Structure 1
Amino acid sequence: MDQMLYKYGGDQVLEGQQVTGLLCPECGGGQSRESAFSVKVQEGRFLCNCHRAKCRFHSSLPIPGEARAVSGHQPVASSSAGGSPKRAHLVPSAGHRGARFGSTQSAPMGKREPVSGQLLEYLVKERCIPEEVVRRNHVSQMKARFPDHGEEEAIVFAYHADDRVVAEKLRTIAKRFISTPGGEACLYGVDDLVGADVIVLTEGEMDKLSVEAAGIQAVASLHSGCGGGCSLAFGAAESLGHARRIVLATDGDEGGQMAAMQMAKQLGYFKCFAVKWPEGCKDANDVLRTHGPVELKRLIDNAIPITPFGVQLFNDEVFQTVQRRISGDIPYEFIRGVPTGWARLDRCYRPVKGEMTSVTGIPGSGKSEWLLSLVMNLAEDRGWRTLLYTFEATDRNLSVQLMEKKLRKPYSEISQEEADTCQTWLWEHFCIGTSEEYESPTIDAVLEMATAEADSAEGLDGLIIDPYNYLTRSQEVETDFISHMLSKIKQFAHEKKVHVWVVAHPTKSSGWAGNQRSNGKDAPEDVVPSLYDISGSAHWYNKTDMGIVVHRVKMMNEKGEQVPTKNVEVHIQKVRNKEAIILVLWATGLLMRTSTDVGQVF
C-alpha cells in the first residue's frame, strides 16, 4: 500500500490528506479498470476504501513507522505538540510485507531460511512436490507463534509480485495457518501468468505447486482460498484478460465449486473451464499423490466448459445417451413412441413417454371420446396405466365409458359377470383423479398426485387433463399462467417419463386462424381451428411436443343448414421436428377398432 502511495502521491502525505484515483488491490478496478480506490492518512493509519459498487473493499493499515518491524520502513516523522502537521514518510520497501488486508493473525517475525529437513521431506515425500519446484517458488521456513499452540516451525509461502514479496502465508505440517499482517491481496504465483494463453487457478498454494509439478508453469492460487475470490491486482487482470483459456482447478467440495462459478462469472464463462476430479480426490495435490503428474496434467487438459446456471452443453451423459440410442439400449417407446392402435394414425402420431400433447377442438367434436379410446388401446396393447383428470365427466359416467370401450358393447348389454371382470381390469390400468364434487385442483395438486402414482409400485405411463380450464388459476395473467403451467407439465413428463395429454378449448370461431373448408360437400363455413386458436396463449403451440385438433365435419343438408356428421377428423398439426400433417380418420359413436385399415374406425 505504501508503495502505491509513494508512486501516486509523492514521498510525503500530510495527516488528513487523501489520495484518490488508484486501482483497488482487491478487485483491480473490474473489467473497466476503474480507478476508484482511495487512501487517507488519519491518526497514524492508512484508511483504504474502494468506491466501486461491486467491491466496497475497506481496510485500515498501520503507517510504515508503526509497521517497521514487519516492513523495515523508516519511522514516521512527527512534529512536537503545537507544531506543523504530522507527515507520513512513504519510502518504498525492499523487503516483504505480509498476506492480506483485514483480519489476519499476527505472528512474530523470525528469520526465514530455505525450507529443509523435516519440512522439505514433508513437501517432497508426503506431498510429492519436486524439490526444484519448491526452490523455484522460494518456499522457506521460519519459527512462528501460532495462537493456542505456541512457537512452531512453519512453511512460508511468499507471494511475489514484480520481483518483490507482497504477502506471506505460513502453515505447519499439522495444517495450522496464519498470515503475516498488513499484506496485499494477490494471487500466489501471479508473475507466472504473464503472457500465458492458458492459465490454471487453484484454491491453495499446495495445489499450485502440484500443478507446476505436472509440467504447467502458468498457474496461481487464490490469496484466501475459495472464500477470498480472485484478486486482479499486481497484473493479474492483464494476464487473465490476455489468456484465451482459464482452467479453474478448485476443490471438488461445494465451496470449491461455488468459487469456480463465481470466478467464471467474474472472468467470463466463455473462457473458463473446470477440472473434474476422480473418485477419492478433492484437489490437485490428491491427484498428484494418488495418480501422478501425468494423470493430473491430463485432467487439466481435459477440463470441461463452465456454463451459467440453467445452461447445459453437450457432455458425457448426452453422448452416452446417443450411444445407447444407436446401440438400441434405449426402449423404443422413449424414442419413436408406441403404436396408437390405429395403423393409419401411427404413421403420423405415436405417443412418446416424457412428452406432452396438446389437444383441442370445438365442444362436441369428440376430443374426450378420442382420448379415452387412445388410452384404452395403449392399456390393451402396451399395458399402459393412465391417470384421468376428466373434469367434465363424473366418476360413474367415466367408468361406464371405459367399460363400454373395453367390452365393445353398450352398457345396457353388459352382464354383471362381465362388469365385475372388466372392473378389475380397469382398476389395474386406470386411476381417476376427478370427483363428484367437481373440485378444482391446482396444477401443482394434479402433478403431485401424478408423481405419487408414478412413484408407486404400479407406476404411471399416461396423464390426461381434460380440460385444463377447470384447474384453479393463480393471480397471474392468463398468458403467464398458461406458460408456467405448461412448463411444469413438461418438467413432470420429462422427469417421470409419463406422456401427458392436455385438452384446451379454442376461442370463438370468428377469430380462428385455422383453414376454412371449401372442398366438395363441406360447407364453406366449416372451419378447422388450429393450436394457435386455443384460448389464452400461443404457448399451446410453442411449448407442446405434439399438437392434435379433433374436428367433427359439418355438411349442408337439403335445407341448406349446417349439421354435424358422424365423421371425425384427427388433424396432426404439430409433431416436433416434423411438418404438420392432416390425417382424416372416420369415427363411430363408440370409437372402436376394427380389423380393417381402409375406412378404419377407432
Structure 2
Amino acid sequence: MDKICTYERRRNIIVTGTPGAGKSEWVDELVLRLCLRHQWKIGFFSPENIPIVYHLRKLIEKLTGHRFQNGCGMTEGLLARSEEFLAENVSHISLKGNATPDRVLAKARELVVRRGCRIFVFDPLNRFDHEPAPGQTETQYISNLLNKFTEFATQYNCLLILVAHPRKMNRNPTTGATPRVEMYDINGSADFYNKADYGIVVERDKEIGITRVYVDKVKFKHLGVGGVATFVYDPVNGRYLPCEESHDPAVPPEQRARNTVYDSSCWLPEKELF
C-alpha cells in the first residue's frame, strides 16, 4: 500500500465500497498504523460502532494480534497495555440529540485542543443528521459540506477520513456480475470525487477471499500514483495481510491469494524505562 499512496495532514480521504466490503475495518487499521508510526492521535465519530466498547475491542485485537478472549494469547498485561494506549491515543465523539455536521466538527475542534487529535474518522456520512437550507439541492448541500470538512482539516492540521456509501450497484443481467464501485458512484454528488484529496474504494471478493483496495485518486503526485493493493482479511485479529492475487483462470478461486504476509505480532510500542 505504501508504494501507491502516502498520507499527510491537512488533507481529506473519502472511502467508499459496497456494504460488507470492510470499509470500516480497513480504515481502523489504516489510522492505527498512522498513529503508531507518526503519533497522530485519532478521533472517531462512528455511530455504527456503538457501544464504543465493541469498537475498542476490535482495535485491541488489531493492536495485539490476538483474539479478545481467554485462551487465545490475550493476557492481562497485554490488555492493560492496550487500554493504556487507546486511552492516550483514541477518542470517540458521542452526542446526545441531533448529530449535525456542525456539532460534530465543534466536538472535533475540542479534541484537537484538549487531546491533540490529528486524525478524524467520520463513519459513515449517512449517520449525520443533515439539515440542508430551504431550497438547497442535494448537490449544493454536499458541496458545501465537503468544503466544511476540507476547511477543518486545513485549519486544524488534521487528516480527515470520510466513509460514504455508494448508490445501489445493479448486476449485469447477462453475466450476473456486479460492477466495481468507483468514486463517482458515491450516492449524492460527483463532488465526492472532485473534492477528495484521496479517493479509496474497498472491495471484498468473497469467492477468492481477497480484499482489494483501489486508490482511485491521489491529488498530488508526490503523495502517490494510485493503483490497487490486495489483502487477505484475518478474522482472528482483524488485520489485513498483504498478498498477491493470481489472475490465471486455471487456478482455483480459493488458491488465487498467494504469498500472503502473515502477521500476529504485537504492534504496541514498548514502554520506555527511565
Q: Give your verdict on TM over 0.5.
A: yes
In structure 1, the partner of 2:102 is 444
Match of 2:35 in 1: 379
- The 3-state SS of whatever aligns with 1:587 is strand
1:500 to 139, 152, 160: 160
Cα distance in 2 between the residues matched to 1:375 and 1:432: 14
Q: Match for 1:443: what amino acid?
A: P
Structure 1: any 5+ residue segments left out of the alignment?
Answer: 1-344, 517-522, 556-564
Q: What does residue 267 of structure 2 align with?
A: none
Aligned AA (2:16): T
Once the two structures are TM-superposed, the CA of residue 467 in structure 1 deviates from its matched residue by 0.2
**Are the counterparts in 2 of residues 526 and 554 from structure 1 also a CA contact under 8 Å?**
no
What per-residue deviation string (whole Å, max 9, x for no partner) do you get for residues 86-137 of structure 1?
xxxxxxxxxxxxxxxxxxxxxxxxxxxxxxxxxxxxxxxxxxxxxxxxxxxx
Is 1:587 equivalent to 2:232 in the alignment?
Answer: yes
**Deviation per CA, 1:48-97, whole angstroms, max 9, x where unpaired?**
xxxxxxxxxxxxxxxxxxxxxxxxxxxxxxxxxxxxxxxxxxxxxxxxxx
Residue deviations 1:242-300 (CA, integer Å, cap 9, x gap): xxxxxxxxxxxxxxxxxxxxxxxxxxxxxxxxxxxxxxxxxxxxxxxxxxxxxxxxxxx
CA-atom RMSD in angstroms: 2.5
The structural deviation recorded for 1:482 is: 1.1
Q: Report how far residue 596 of structure 1 moved.
A: 8.8
- Opposite residue 599 of structure 1, the aligned amino acid is T
- Aligned counterpart, 1:418: 78
**One-letter code aligned to 2:148:** K
* Aligned CA distance change for structure 1 residues 591 and 538 (closer, same or farther; 3 Å): same
CA contact (8 A) 1:587 1:601 kept: no
Unpaired runs of 5+ in structure 2? 245-258, 264-274
Name whichever of 589-598 and 440-449 sits farther off: 589-598
Q: Aligned match of 2:205 in 553, 574, 582?
A: 553
Distance 2:80 2:220 in 1: 45
Distance of 1:356 and 1:424 partners within structure 2:
28
Is contact 1:473-1:481 (8 Å) kept?
Answer: no
> Is the counterpart of residue 433 in structure 1 residue 93 in structure 2?
yes
Cα distance in 1 between the residues matched to 2:262 and 2:44: 23
AA at the equivalent of 2:102? D
Alignment of 1:309-324 (within 5 A): none
Residue 24 (structure 2) aligned to one of 346, 368, 375:
368
Q: Distance in 2 between matches of 1:499 and 1:538?
A: 21
Displacement after TM superposition at 1:583 (Å): 1.0
Shift of 1:440: 4.2
The alpha-carbon deviation at position 580 of structure 1 amounts to 6.6
Q: Distance in 1 between matches of 2:101 and 2:13?
A: 16
Question: Taking structure 1 as reference, are residues 451 and 601 closer, same or farther at Cα in structure 2, changes over 3 Å only?
Answer: farther
2:185 maps to what in 1?
Answer: 533
Q: Which residue of 2 aligns with 1:346?
A: 2
**Number of equivalenced pairs:** 236
Rounded Cα–Cα distance in structure 1 between residues aligned with 2:262 and 2:213: 12
Please state how far the C-alpha of 1:424 moved relative to its aligned partner. 1.1
Would the alpha carbon gap of residues 481 and 601 (structure 1) be closer, same or farther in structure 2, given more than 3 Å must change?
farther
Paired with 1:586 and 1:532, the residues of 2 have a C-alpha distance of 24
SS in 2 for 1:547: strand
> Are the counterparts in 2 of residues 387 and 433 from structure 1 also a CA contact under 8 Å?
yes
Match of 1:599 in 2: 260
Equivalent position amino acid for 1:584 in 2: A
Work out whether residues 591 and 601 of structure 1, in 8 Å CA contact, stay in contact via their aligned partners in 2.
no
**Quick one: structure 1 residues 498 and 529, their matched pair in 2 at CA, closer, same or farther if it must change by over 3 Å?**
same
Pick the structure with greater CA Rg. Answer: 1
Residues 291-310 of structure 1 mapped to structure 2, 5 A cutoff: none
Match for residue 142 of structure 2?
482
Q: Distance in 2 between matches of 1:370 and 1:402?
A: 11
| 1:18-33 → structure 2 map (5 Å cutoff) | none
- 1:221-370 equivalences in 2 (<5 Å): 345-370=1-26
364 and 474 in structure 1: CA distance in 2 versus 1, 3 angstrom threshold: same
CA apart distance, 1:417: 3.5
Q: Deviation per CA, 1:156-190, whole angstroms, max 9, x where unpaired?
A: xxxxxxxxxxxxxxxxxxxxxxxxxxxxxxxxxxx
Say whether the 8 Å CA contact 1:361–1:529 is kept in structure 2. Answer: yes
Alpha-carbon separation, structure 1, partners of 2:124 and 2:28: 13
SS in 1 for 2:7: coil
Relative CO higher for 1 or 2, CA cutoff 8 Å, sep ≥ 6? 2
CA distance in 2, matches of 1:596, 1:396: 31
Deviation track 1:5-26 (CA, whole Å, cap 9, x = no partner) reads xxxxxxxxxxxxxxxxxxxxxx
CA contact (8 A) 2:16 2:23 kept: yes
TM-aligned CA distance change 1:415 to 1:471, over 3 Å: same
Aligned mate of 2:48, from 392, 401, 420: 392
Of 117, 134, 138, the match for 1:460: 117
356-365 vs 421-430, greater mean Cα deviation? 421-430
Match of 1:572 in 2: 215
| C-alpha displacement of 1:480 | 1.7
**Preserved CA contact (<8 Å) 1:361 1:505:** yes
- Give, in angstroms, the shift of residue 421 of structure 1: 2.3
Please say if residues 242 and 260 of structure 2, whose CA atoms lie closer than 8 Å, have aligned partners that are also in contact: no
| Distance (whole Å) between structure 2 residues aligned to residue 417 and residue 601 of structure 1 | 24
TM-score normalised by L of structure 1: 0.37
Question: Which is further off, 361-370 or 376-385?
Answer: 376-385
CA distance in 2, matches of 1:382, 1:587: 25
Read off the aligned partner of 1:551 and give its amino acid letter. E
Q: What percent identity do the matched residue pairs reach?
A: 27
Change (3 A) 1:498 1:596: same
